[in-house]
Amino acid sequence: MFLTSQGHVLPGSCDCRENEAKFVKRVDQVLRSYRGRNLRSFKVCFCLRSNSTNDIDRWISFSVGMGVQELSLGLYCDKMHCLGFQYASDQCGALTEGKYVFQLRNFEGSRANLKSLRLVACVLGQYSPDQFRCLQTLTVACTNLAQYDLHGMFTCLLTLKSLTFERCILPEELSLSSLTQPQNFVIMASAGVELVEISNMNLVTIEGVGYSYFVFNLRSAPKLSSFLFV
């Protein structure tokens, strides 16, 4: 929406705050003018933080109420793309203060048809099987997940087929055993993880991209046919 300067390098010099109120106002204008009854995809890509929680919650409730199948929240400064993977992971993934919290309450009483969810620079809040009962694809990026109950979250993802962690801070030991239907697992430029335990009957592909060193423990993966490490 805006012609912002490309001169800054560090996230601390981000100039997105200057346009935040204008961005929120324009999104609200678009949604108020929408006269359809359904939405297939809803994507927000702008550097928004917890001070915009009410606005983001309202947008999510609107889209989910419209039966949206694909939801993407890219709440980061697009200037981060010019930074190296290691810097982006250390700086964006490790800092959780001030980030938007993705909450269960946005799905209450809705037509939860969500099949694809991408969360960038968000904090994961409450979750339940009902919240993600149709979810097939989950991507989490630029988020600190080291102290998060990933096992509890995985048990709620009953239909998940594809899982991606990108530039995240992960726990030292990551187990995918509580995922029942995954076919694809991708881990990109994420820090902290040392061991990934695989025990999944339907897993077909594993991809690892980035600078991190970690070990895979393949306990049970009879359908695994593709490894890609870059």
pLDDT tens string 29-51: 999 999 998 899 999 998 888 88
Bridge partner list, 72? 43, 118
pLDDT tens sequence across 53-112: 999 999 998 998 888 999 999 988 766 554 444 544 455 544 556 788 887 666 665 556
DSSP 197: E
Q: Give pLDDT, residue 93.
A: 46
Q: How far apart are the first and last CA of the chain?
A: 34
Pick the CATH number of 38-229 from 3.80.10, 3.40.50, 1.10.3470, 2.60.40: 3.80.10
pTM across the whole model: 0.86
What pLDDT score was predicted for residue 210? 76
- Domains of the chain, by residue range, sit at 38-229
Name residues whose C-beta falls within 8 Å of residue 185's C-beta, 6 or more positions apart in sequence. 162, 163, 164, 176, 198, 203, 205, 206, 207
Question: pLDDT tens digit string along 141-188?
Answer: 988 888 888 888 888 888 899 999 998 889 999 999 889 899 999 998
- Residue 12 reports pLDDT greater than 50: no
